[in-house]
Amino acid sequence: MILLKWLASFKIPKKTFELAKSIFEFKKEKGEIFETITQVFKRVLNILKQAGDFEICALNRDELKSEFERNLFEKLEEISSQVKKNFEAGDYKKALSLISKISLPLNDFFDNVFVMDKDERIKNLRLSLLFEVKKLFSLFGEFDKLKKRIEGSG
């Protein structure tokens, strides 16, 4: 709560404060889930950073080779609009709860798919899939840095 009191002392937009408060409360209430989603997001960022420049591809389920790619793609399609809708409505905890549903298919993807395939098209499709995950997480700001800021605050 110290972090929230500190944030409240600044003249920041109400929406920004509510977002920070919701993330803090989500972490406090669902610490293990919060930890999991921050870990998988960190893996996404690391792989995209390692990849450097790549050609972003339009994603098509039929082009995805493995069931793990397709499962991640389907879960992303299933939750994306709901996450955005809840985020825009200011229901940040609901949006976080929805985004946490991507953790299992994302972990399965990481455990079973080699992203940096020799085939350039396959590699770019896989990186594009991860880029879409990053875009969804990025609604909440820089998730990896945010986790560091609130660590130990709960």
In a domain, 2, yes or no: no
**In this structure, how many other beta carbons lie within 10 angstroms of the beta carbon of residue 129?**
23
- 18/95: higher pLDDT: 95
User: Do 128 and 59 form a contact (C-beta atoms < 8 A)?
Assistant: yes
How many Å apart are CA 123 and CA 120, to the nearest integer?
Answer: 5
**pLDDT at residue number 23:** 85
In a domain, 63, yes or no: yes
Residue among 113, 91, 120, 122 at smallest CA distance from 44: 113
Q: What percent of the chain lies above the pLDDT cut of 70?
A: 83
In a domain, 6, yes or no: no
Q: What is the residue range of 24's domain?
A: 15-150
Q: What is the arithmetic mean of pLDDT over 7-20?
A: 67
In a domain, 3, yes or no: no
SS3 of the chain: helix, strand, coil, percent, to 5: 75, 0, 25
In a domain, 9, yes or no: no
The CATH number that applies at residue 62 is 1.10.730
Domain count, the chain: 1
In a domain, 1, yes or no: no
Q: What is the arithmetic mean of pLDDT over 135-145?
A: 78
Residues sharing a CB contact under 8 Å with residue 48, sequence separation 6 or more, in sequence order: 127, 130, 131, 134
How many Å apart are CA 150 and CA 154, to the nearest integer?
Answer: 7
**pLDDT at residue number 10:** 53
How many Å apart are CA 36 and CA 107, to the nearest integer?
Answer: 10
User: Do 126 and 60 form a contact (C-beta atoms < 8 A)?
Assistant: no
User: Do 102 and 133 form a contact (C-beta atoms < 8 A)?
Assistant: yes
**pLDDT at residue number 12:** 55
- Residue length, the chain? 154
In a domain, 146, yes or no: yes
In a domain, 7, yes or no: no
How many Å apart are CA 88 and CA 4, to the nearest integer?
Answer: 21
Q: 41-94, pLDDT tens digit by residue?
A: 999 999 999 999 998 989 988 999 899 999 999 999 999 999 999 999 999 999
